[in-house]
Amino acid sequence: MSDTLNLTLKVWRQASPSAPGEFKTYKVYDISTHMSFLEMLDVLNEDLISKGEEPIAFDHDCREGICGSCSLMINGQAHGPDRTTTTCQLHMRRFRSGDMIVIEPWRARAFPVIRDLVVDRSAFDRIMTAGGYVSVNTGNAVDGNAVLVPKQNADKAFASATCIGCGACVAACKNASAMLFVSAKVSQFALLPQGQPERSQRVEAMVAKMDEEGFGGCTNTNECEAACPAGITVDNIARLNREYIRATLTAE
Amino acid sequence: MKRQTGGCCGLCWLWSSLSSTIGQKIVMALTGLALCGFLLVHLGGNLLLYVGEQKYNDYAHALHAQGALLLVAEIGLFAMFVIHIGLAFRTSFANAAARPIAYAMRQSKQDPGPLAQPPSGVMLATGIVVLVFLLVHLSDFKFFSVTRATGLRHQSVPADAAPFARAVGVLQDPISALVYFAGSLVLAYHVLHGFASAFQTLGLRHPKYTPLVKTLSLVFAIVVGVGFASFPFWAWTFR
Ligand code: HEM
Ligand code: FES
């Protein structure tokens, strides 16, 4: 088996938010199977730059699966074919020489394209600003064990907090719904004592913001869970619904 | 967040909560489950077709003798349908609008289930088929005399036929038989996802009970599908 691949890429190119975009076809040769998907795009960009063409814009930062910057619909799958894997952690050995790979940006009204494969995900930031925090008084740090947290709640909250906010859930959902993201962010606080004081106003404000930003609603198809690189489960969505009902019925 | 309290009728807070994407789904889940309950009662009543002509006629007469009570139930049922269907279209359009530009390529990342097309992806389509089924069904029974008077259908069924004879007569109409048979199976497909999905929408998810809800959803879909589809089948083969 050869250790290098020759591939045909169909890549979405769009010069600006308002410019009409189109797919352009590129060929890349001698791609090492040990490369990540983004490194493969780096190779293509080096080639484009040397030819005097515009390189392809794509988001990335840590390249180790923790920051949530990278994105990309790869052959119609968010972050490509592997489960719980970001695009930056996707290896080229997942592909065969001669493959054609279609690369598109996340598609959602709430995530407008900025350029090529880069979309504006600041809608997520605005949802967080609406309620995705715990207010604390400044001053000395409180003693680590002053507030008791049951281990199983800490584990669940931690699992929810592993959401890296990449937007794959929105990208994969047929309704471009942000429910998995919002549910993880609501859950990580709802499960902890520190989250209790603002529990109701948080879920109400974050859901209102989510709707205002133009995301769709949840129809329980569970596609988000399968696409999530951080392994966030739809248990969180049930908890979000529960928190929402609770806040509706009891909050003052 | 500013909460709407006071003002209007005292329930504005509820209205505003139920208007969100989550709120609308909660209402769809509640109306959907209420409709599931109706399906069971309706199936139970009609299974009397197999018990005997007399029993079925007695049941139909007893039901219609309820008068005002029946009217209230019918209005409630009508409201459940209108709300469920209205929100179905409303949320479906809103969800479609959330992705104005479609992907050139789309592939699921879920493990393939036993069904080539998971029911969750085609709820509006199956719902619309059920709606057509419902309209034909209402024209056959609720508005039997009107439909018959048009001279287009059910001419072979006497205008004053007893409930049993009328049911058999209508089920032997080829259009009705086909619509009922196919409609029942599509309805089963709708509730296969719908029943379990409603629990998730209402936040009722638990490692002990959710597997049970999924099993019940399958059992319910089979009972509804086989139960209702059996009527036209029976009318054509055994009557
Ligand atoms: C006896 C008839 C019906 C029953 C028992 C029924 C039941 C249900 C249930 C239990 C749900 C789940 C709600 C949830 O996910 O939270 C549902 C969802 C839905 N129903 Fe129905 N339904 C019926 C008729 C219809 C009709 C006539 C339509 C449309 C024209 C329709 C369209 C929908 C849609 C679009 C959804 C949302 C699906 C989703 O969120 O994925 N249904 N239905
Ligand atoms: S670049 Fe940070 S997660 Fe992929």
pLDDT tens-place string over residues A224-234: 999 999 999 99
pLDDT tens-place string over residues A70-111: 999 999 999 999 999 999 999 999 999 999 999 999 999 999
- Is residue A4 within 8 A of residue A32, CB to CB? The reply is yes
Percent of chain A whose predicted confidence (pLDDT) is above 70? 99
Residues A82 and A129 in one domain: no
Residues A190 and A91 in one domain: no
> What rounded mean pLDDT belongs to chain A?
96
A86 lines ligand 2 (CB under 6 A): yes
Which among A83, A114, A145 is the end of a domain? A114
Helices and strands (DSSP H and E) totals, chain B: 10, 0
Nearest ligand 2 atom, CA A87: 4
Average pLDDT in the A178-182 region?
98
Residues A210 and A147 in one domain: yes
The reported pTM is 0.93
* pLDDT of A1: 52
* pLDDT of B145: 87
Nearest to A56 by CA among A2, A94, A113: A113
* pLDDT of B1: 46
Contact B98 A176 (CB under 8 A): yes
Residues A110 and A127 in one domain: no
Instruction: Measure the CA–CA gap between B37 and B31, rounded to whole angstroms.
Output: 10
Q: Distance, in angstroms, between B25 CA and closest chain A CA?
A: 8
Binning pLDDT at 50, 70 and 90, where does residue A52 land? Answer: very high
The CATH number given to whatever domain includes residue A217 is 1.10.1060.10
Which among A98, A114, A130 is the end of a domain? A114
Residues A51 and A83 in one domain: yes
Question: Ligand 2 mean position to A89 CA, how many Å?
Answer: 8
- Greatest Cα-to-Cα distance within chain B, rounded to the nearest angstrom: 64
Residues A31 and A141 in one domain: no
Q: Which ligand is nearest to the CA of B36?
A: 1
Domain residue spans of chain B:
22-94+119-237
Is pLDDT at A178 greater than 80 in this prediction? yes
Residues of chain B where predicted confidence (pLDDT) is lower than 50: 1
Structural domain total, chain A: 2
Contact A176 B118 (CB under 8 A): no
Query: How many CB atoms neighbour CB B156 within 10 A?
Result: 10
Pocket residue to mutate for ligand 2, from A37, A42, A70, most atoms within 8 A of Cβ: A70
Whether the CA torsion B1, B2, B8, B9 is positive or negative: it is: positive
Residues A136 and A244 in one domain: yes
Is pLDDT at A115 greater than 50 in this prediction? yes
Helix axes B174-201, A235-250, angle to 10 degrees: 80
Average pLDDT in the A110-114 region?
98
* pLDDT of B202: 98
* pLDDT of B113: 83
Is pLDDT at A163 greater than 50 in this prediction? yes
Binning pLDDT at 50, 70 and 90, where does residue A194 land? Answer: very high
DSSP state letters, A1-51: --SEEEEEEEEEE-SSSSSPPEEEEEEEEEEETTSBHHHHHHHHHHHHHHT
Contact B109 A235 (CB under 8 A): no
More confident residue, A145 or A109: A109
Q: What's chain A's length in residues?
A: 252
- Greatest Cα-to-Cα distance within chain A, rounded to the nearest angstrom: 66
Contact B107 A210 (CB under 8 A): no
Percent of chain A whose predicted confidence (pLDDT) is above 90? 93
* pLDDT of B195: 97
Nearest ligand 2 atom, CA A67: 2
Residues A141 and A196 in one domain: yes
Is pLDDT at A214 greater than 60 in this prediction? yes
Please give the residue range of the domain that contains residue A89.
Answer: 4-114
Q: Chain B residues within 8 A (CB-CB) of chain A?
A: 1, 3, 13-14, 17, 20-26, 91, 94-111, 118, 120-121, 123, 193, 197, 200-205
